[in-house]
Structure 1
Amino acid sequence: MEAWPVYLLTGSVVGFIAGLLGIGGGLLMVPILAATFISLDFPADRIVHIALGTTTAIITLTAISSLRAHHARGAVNWPVVRYMTPGIIAGALIGSTLAGQLSNRVLGVIFVLFIYSAATQMWLNLKPGADYALPGKVGLLTAGGVIGAISSLVAIGGGLLTVPFLSACQVRMHHAIGTAAAVGFPVALASAAGYAVNGLLQTQPLPDYSLGYIYLPALMMVAMTSTVTAPWGAKTAHILPAVALRKIFAGLLYLLGTKLLLDFLG
């Protein structure tokens, strides 16, 4: 319980960002939770697994709030969501299962490399050209599988991958963000289920109040505030340009990624 202020503040920030940018906030949550779990003396070789699993469970709740806000504004392309979802679920289960087989250090390095890559993409505002049309059912199913697997492995809601994909397929940015928010729900739900099951199947003791690799106190407290602030972010996304906020977010990702890397090196 000594970590509850961290959980509540983390939830407030990531919920707002989830709604604003159409992402699940996992890139912020994982390093913050990992640092918190280190301070609580959680099993050293399961720190990243618990941070990833808890984050995916939190994103499940955040995504519901965010997608409802975007749906209310007519910004969700539901046919795209429907065709991508089976691939997303399969990919997310594969990704979370793979994560369970990797060591804490390897999983941490993968996450840090991804967070640096995402921060660079945001800072430079790199976007694919809108040179393609939306693929058919098989293409959307395949794209969903790839997005689901990668998102599960690094505990993101899929927005960082879904928004560029849809933008490249000539989907308007607000609709790309709203659709990414909707896609984030099946990504997170399948990922959380995978982390819970894989954690329950491993023999090493985990912290009290854990459901597999999901730490329930952090889940409840972060979700409590993130579901409140996500609609605020979604509303802001339709009012203000997000360029400056993206750069601030990218800078914060660099700092958190470096902090997590130093924790591993230490």
Structure 2
Amino acid sequence: MNDGHIHTPYCPHGSDQPLEAYVNRALTLGYSSMTFTEHAPLPPSFIDPVPDQDSAMRSNDVEDYIKTIHQLKESYNSDIDIRLGFEVDYIKGFEDEITSFLDDYGDYIDDSILSVHFLKTGGQWYCIDYSPEMFKEAIDASGSIKELYDLYYQAMEQSALADLGPHKPNRIGHMTLIKKFQLLYDPPENWYHSASLFLDTVKKQGMSLDYNGAGAKKSYCHESYPPLSIAALASSKKIPLVYGSDAHHPNQLKQGYSELKQSFIVR
């Protein structure tokens, strides 16, 4: 049992439970390995569009985060393989700052994820998974839900192709996050085509996918990121799928796992 996407108390919008609580819960669940992938600090010149500006960890917490996880590795060395990582946001136009962060801390990274949470449309940035209200604002700003989905998959394509240096994450995070509010806002008819074309880029770049169970537990999603149809297509293309709980609390470890096609998951 491997979980490649776990958050920590260093996440300002997550739980204040200590890291040991995550590890002990993972051991109870039979985990053999776990990767902590805290939200990397956003680029210094980027302004977080969510009201509390709490989308990512603070820059001055990074070194403590690294030190604490190294201590955990030593303490639990005989029990579980603990890996240190980050969930890095790809934000178009901020590639140099993202690369600078990865250059500074890449030597400490065991495993990491590259995700898209932020889209710019109508001259403003939106966090597409923050709330139904912000998602609706993004739809209105872009002109239609089709345009917003198209913008998302353009950003996903750019993230996979971006030159972010030698420490660029090799796993794409929750590639259908744009569908988080699909039960409120019907996805456009072309979403599957856009997602399937993106898989070709993932394959060409030699990247893997975060097979994320969190969406299955979201009130307006009720499916994994990606859903079964895309996961099956990715598997047929021999793209590695790595389970991720996307836990922001110890009790969320292994969430959505039973809803996934487990034979697709890389062990």
The TM-score, its normalising length taken from structure 2, stands at 0.25
Task: Name whichever structure is richer in helix by fraction.
Answer: 1
Task: Name whichever structure is richer in strand by fraction.
Answer: 2
- The higher-RCO structure (CA 8 Å, 6+ apart) is 1
